[in-house]
Amino acid sequence: MSIQLVTTVAGLHTESARLLKAKQGTSQGLVPTMGALHEGHAALARTAVENNDVVVASIFVNPLQFGDAADLDRYPRTLDADLALLEEQGVDLAFAPSVEEVYPGGEPLVRITSGRLGEKWEGASRPGHFDGALTVVAKLLHYGMPAAGLPAGSAGTAGGSLPSYRAYFGQKDAQQLALVQRMAADLNFPVEIVGVPTVRADDGLALSSRNRFLSDDERDAALVLSRALRLLEERANAHEPLDLDSALAMVESQPLVELDYFDVVDPGTLEPLAENCRETPFRGEALALIAAKVGPVRLIDNVPLSS
Ligand code: PAF
């Protein structure tokens, strides 16, 4: 079946309800994106398609989460290619609204606040970014809710219960994923938030819509990020001390890479685990986070550590 494109919230509700009914579906998945899709997004879409009867992917470049107007302007817009990629994964509906459709009254006066969890790491370098991202994610989660388009009084599925609802986010944006999970839990959103593992190029670089802005030299230099993370992963797997300082020195020795942060943190709170990552053998669960500017591009990456 070919993918359907809708651009209004009303169209999304009508079509997703129609599809759920036609398929006698019991579950709906949402894949929020900003377009410029790559194999990482394809993995999100595939996971959603494998686990839900109806899958909606949204494509919306959210002005609220860009601090810099130039960055917003140059964000790649590739709708035709995006639709083709989503269709290949079996996505049913693409929702690509205009800015006016999402923010009909202009920028919202009331927003989601990401709190302490959103102020560190990416939040420290990009003030307001996570408030903007969470605000649109909250709206998208509401738009994509499976019962939203069903007639009033309808119980939903044939069995009478409401369809289950899942939304898919990449683990590459670890802080965003942690924040969306907290938002859904803290504010009782009726949705399961699913994290999907990072997809990497053969040389280890984490896929990102921004990689296309790297020159060949910058791309080579950027590989030090995933190499340094892999080093920590190998040490954790071998129950060795992580020796974060030596991994840090490796990144700092690359002249084209301007390191922002590199640390090992608790996966839930994102607080640094300073004591556990230097001389003593690593034990437990953690996340190694890294961010750097390479040429014109800010790159982030992370790996889960477990020992
Ligand atoms: O990760 C992204 O692409 C965006 O931050 C999201 C979740 C689609 C919200 O605009």
pLDDT tens digit sequence for 102-160: 999 999 999 999 999 999 999 999 999 999 999 999 999 999 999 766 665 564 555 56
* Pair 157, 14 in one domain: yes
Does residue 192 belong to any structural domain of this protein?
yes
Q: Do the domain assignments include residue 106?
A: yes
307: in domain: no
| Domain boundary residue, one of 144, 167, 196 | 196
Overall average pLDDT of the 282-289 stretch: 92
Query: Whose Cα sits closest to atom 3 in ligand 1?
Result: 33
Higher pLDDT, 155 or 231: 231
Mutate which of 41, 56, 62, 143 for ligand 1? The one with the most ligand atoms within 8 Å of its CB, which is 62
Domain count, the chain: 2
41 among known catalytic residues: yes
State mean pLDDT over 205-216: 95
- Using the atom order of ligand 1, give the atom closest to the CA of residue 170: 1
Task: Using the mean position of ligand 1's atoms as its centre, give its distance from the Cα of residue 65 in Å.
Answer: 9
pLDDT tens-place string over residues 68-81: 899 899 999 999 99
Q: Are residues 130 and 229 in the same domain?
A: no
Domain CATH for 280: 3.30.1300.10
Q: What CATH number does residue 111 fall under?
A: 3.40.50.620
253 in the same domain as 179 = no
Residue 31 and residue 92 in one domain? yes
Residues forming the annotated binding site for ATP? 34-41, 170-173, 199, 207-210
203 domain-assigned: no
Residues 92 and 223 in one domain: no
pLDDT at residue 279 is higher than 90: no
Q: Is the pLDDT assigned to residue 293 strictly greater than 80?
A: yes
Work out the angle between the directed axes of helices 39-51 and 79-89 (0-180°, nearest 10). Answer: 40
pTM of the model: 0.95
Mutate to test the pocket of ligand 1, among 30, 31, 34 (most ligand atoms within 8 A of CB): 34
Range of the domain at 41: 4-196
